[in-house]
Amino acid sequence: MKGHLYKVTLEHIEDAKGLPIDDNSLQFEARNHDDIFKIVEMIKIKMDLEEADAVAFAVGLKLFGEVMLKNRDVELFKQFKPHMTDFMKQLKKL
């Protein structure tokens, strides 16, 4: 598959009670047809979100969307596709 290759790292820093978590992380590589860094910058400019929220939203959306595209035959994704298409159209209008 062509596209940009990213390494994603998620570190669990503290639990729901605010207690520190020692050495718990996920790391994986993911491809995406878009430049996620450009998308993040666009979301920061176009949406009235705190910076951390804009980054989390953009990265999460792009990772989710690419998994949906890659696995378009999964029934749950088939059912969700029209909603995702509408959402992306609205997002692109901003």
The model's pLDDT over 43-87, given as tens digits with 9 standing for 90+, comes to 999 999 999 999 999 999 999 999 999 999 999 999 999 999 999
- The CATH number of residue 48's host domain is 3.10.20.850
**pLDDT tens digits for range 14-54:** 999 999 998 899 999 999 999 999 999 999 999 999 999 99
Between CA 47 and CA 40 the distance in angstroms is 10
Average pLDDT over residues 4-13: 97
Helix ranges (DSSP H) in the chain: 36-46, 51-70, 75-93
Q: What is the pTM of this model?
A: 0.90
Contact by Cβ (8 Å): 68, 87: no
When divided into structural domains, the chain yields a total of: 1
- Structural domain containing residue 67: 4-93
